[in-house]
Structure 1
Amino acid sequence: MRVSVFIPTYNAGDSWAKLLHALQQQSLRPNVFAVIDSGSSDATVQLAKDYGAQVLNIAQKEFTHGLSRHRLTESFPDNDIFIFMTQDAIPANNQSLANLVKAFNDNSVGVAYGRQLPRLEAGPIERQERLFNYPEVSSVRSEADIPKLGFKTIFCSNSFAAYRKIAYLESGGFPPKAQFGEDTILTAKIIKRGWKIAYVAEATVVHSHGYNLAEEAARYREIGKFHKRNLWLFDNFGKPGKEGFKLLFSQLWFVFKNNPFSLPLVPVRIANKWLAYKKGFSDKP
């Protein structure tokens, strides 16, 4: 299988060189490595070129998460598998790409995504959220799992995900107007067309964020807006509410065992996310 690696970039900062070096060490070398940059003013573009990347440009005013990624697939359409990463997701070892692509040995798999590990400096809440969403055991999901898993069936993250080109194209690709959640929208369409989604725990990247309360609120407000704009996801996969309760209890237990002094922060952060989400969901389109 021929493989492309695609990364949108903007002022990628200190982690960019680490990511590029880690890509260069992969046992599976991509047939195409391309980035699409939205006006970086630092060394992002030059570093990408130094490591052999082909570089596209997109104006900041034109940028969306859907359009930038779809433009990469249109510009480099020839390979069988499209791997998407974010500029701060660093492969954890030299088998990360190879392990992700192995999922496509199953011809029924249309999407695969890898495991995101917390940063070394991550606090207990940040660490637990990664462990909750990205467990140690791999799995494969399909439309048949919707009654049991609901909205979780279509969980995926473009921080480290791969799409079979045939499944990508027949499902319409990333929606160009999607400012957020382009991975969820496409995965949902691919699942509804009968393909499966593989979670590959052996394919690992280091990727997590130590958001403060304001940053967390901004993110969850965007999630609320995204869900309001895409109510068809609820119609087909149910609402994601149950996951919030699971996260709360899991987080309380994890923090109690690892850093009990942080326990008061757990309900504060959960409430902050919930209120921000409700605010976003109630905002006018």
Structure 2
Amino acid sequence: MSVALIIPTRNAGAHLERLLPALARQTLQPDEFLVVDSSSRDDSVARLRGAGARVEVIEPSQFNHGGTRRWASQQVAADVLIYLTQDAIPATPDTFARIVGALHGEPDIGVAYGRQLPHADAGLLGAQARRFNYPPVSRTKRLVDAGELGIKTCFSSDSFSVYRRDALEAVGGFPEDVIGSEDAYVAARMLLSGYAVRYAADAEVHHSHDYRLLEEFRRYFDIGVFYGRERWIGEAFGAASGEGLRYVKAELQAVLAAGALWRVPEVLLRTAAKLLGYRIGQGERYLDVGLKRRLSMFPGYWK
């Protein structure tokens, strides 16, 4: 079994002080280490090459969350593909070994994703988002679980995940052109094709974001665009509304538990921004391209 590590980067310098030592400490070292860099303006390329990575530089306009990962998978020969983002820092020396072990724990697993812990400086809501989506208990998800889990069945995250190449190719690989959520796309295809998705809670990285209100709106606009275009996912696994309500309740409980009652209006305002962004994103076909660029967190997608 051969393993490739693939990391898309752009101006990653702020993260490399933590990322490169964490990669060097891994007990499982990849046979191939590929970085696809979107023309960084800092010293990312030189530092990553110095750490032993093969770095392929592309124009920022060429980057696509699905298409770039698809292209990267075709540049390596390994049987197992670990995908990591530049701001996801392996938490232990066994992080890679554990995620690869999880991938091979059951014969039908096609993709496994690890647990994301909040960064040490994460805010209350940023940390709560990690706790909600990445619990301490591992689970294997199959199509039969859709009645229980709904849209969460195909939840996965390419911030830290690992794919069996044969399973990835069997479902057509990453989509060529998506605004994001390529991980959910592939997981859904795998589940519908009889593969399982594994959540490996013992394979941990530090990865979190403290989004501002407008960023929340833009992020959910993009999510709405994705699910509006890929309606087959909702038809197969159900709508996201029930999961969204559960998330809001968990946020409110976290705010109250922290004694931050004054943040309840903020939670409600953020929820309204997310819902509005999502709804507008689903109807994006009626909007001017220039407006979509201004609404999106990924304006380069709108060519």
Q: 5+ unaligned residues in a row in structure 2: which ranges?
A: 287-303
8 Å Cα contact 1:7/1:87 also seen in 2: yes
Counterpart of 2:299 in structure 1 is none
Aligned to 2:144: 144
Which residue of the partner structure matches residue 253 of structure 1? Answer: 253
Q: C-alpha displacement at 1:20, in angstroms?
A: 1.6
Q: Which residue of 1 aligns with 2:101?
A: 102
Q: Secondary structure at the match of 2:158?
A: coil
Partner of 1:197: 197
- The SS at the match of 1:26 is coil
Pairwise CA distance, 1:259? 3.5
* Equivalence for 1:230: 230
- Work out whether residues 179 and 222 of structure 2, in 8 Å CA contact, stay in contact via their aligned partners in 1: no
* Residue ranges of structure 1 left out of the alignment (5+ in a row): none
What's the secondary structure of 2:13's corresponding residue?
Answer: coil
Using the size of structure 2 for normalisation, the TM-score is 0.91
Question: Is the CA contact (8 Å cut-off) linking 2:179 and 2:225 kept in structure 1?
Answer: no
2:72 counterpart residue number: 72
Q: What letter is aligned with 2:285?
A: K
Q: 2 CA distance for matches of 1:81 and 1:205?
A: 19
Q: CA–CA distance in 1 between the matches of 2:8 and 2:179?
A: 13
DSSP-derived class of the 2:146 partner: helix
The answer to whether the Cα contact below 8 Å between 1:223 and 1:280 also exists between their aligned partners in 2 is: yes
Does the aligned pair in 1 maintain the 2:100–2:162 contact within 8 Å?
A: yes
- The Cα of 1:271 is off from its aligned counterpart by 1.2
SS at the partner of 1:200? Answer: strand
The two structures, once aligned, show a CA RMSD in angstroms of 1.1
Q: CA separation in 2, counterparts of 1:265 and 1:13?
A: 32
SS across alignment from 1:87: coil
Deviation at 1:234, TM superposition (A): 1.0
Instruction: Tell me if structure 1 keeps the 8 A contact 2:110–2:197.
Output: yes
Partner of 2:182: 182
Output the amino acid matched with 1:280. G
Task: Name the CA distance, whole Å, in 2 between partners of 1:244 and 1:50.
Answer: 43
Structure 1 distance, partners of 2:172, 2:16, is 30
Question: What's the offset of the Cα at 1:97?
Answer: 0.6
Partner of 2:119: 119
Deviations 1:167-193 (A, max 9, x none): 001111101112311111111111111
Alignment: residue pair count? 284
Q: Deviations over 1:132-179 (max 9, x none)?
A: 000010000001111111111000010001111110011111011123
Cα separation, 2, equivalents of 1:94 and 1:12:
21
When structure 1 is superposed on structure 2, of 150-159 and 17-26 the one drifting more is 17-26
Partner of 1:81: 80
Secondary structure at the aligned position of 1:136 is classed as coil
Could you tell me how far 1:263 is from its partner in structure 2? 2.5
SS of aligned partner of 1:114? strand
What is the deviation of 1:209? 0.6
The secondary structure found in structure 2 opposite 1:105 is coil
Q: In structure 2, what residue type is equivalent to 1:248?
A: V
Report the counterpart of residue 266 of structure 2 in structure 1.
Answer: 265
Match of 2:281 in 1: 280
Q: Residue 14 of structure 1: SS of its match in structure 2? A: helix
CA–CA distance in 1 between the matches of 2:266 and 2:16?
31
Distance 1:133 1:259 in 2: 22
- Matched to 1:100, the amino acid is I
Report matched runs for 1:3-42 at 5 Å: 3-42=3-42
| Equivalent position amino acid for 1:224 in 2 | G
Q: Are the aligned partners of 1:17 and 1:47 in contact in 2 as well (CA < 8 Å)?
A: no
One-letter amino acid of the counterpart of residue 88, structure 1: D
1:11-53: CA deviation from partner (whole Å, max 9, x where unpaired): 1131123112101100111111110111111011111101000
Letter in 2 for 1:258: A
Name whichever of 232-241 and 10-19 sits farther off.
Answer: 10-19
The TM-score with structure 1 as length reference comes to 0.97
Letter in 1 for 2:274: K
Residue matched to 2:290: none
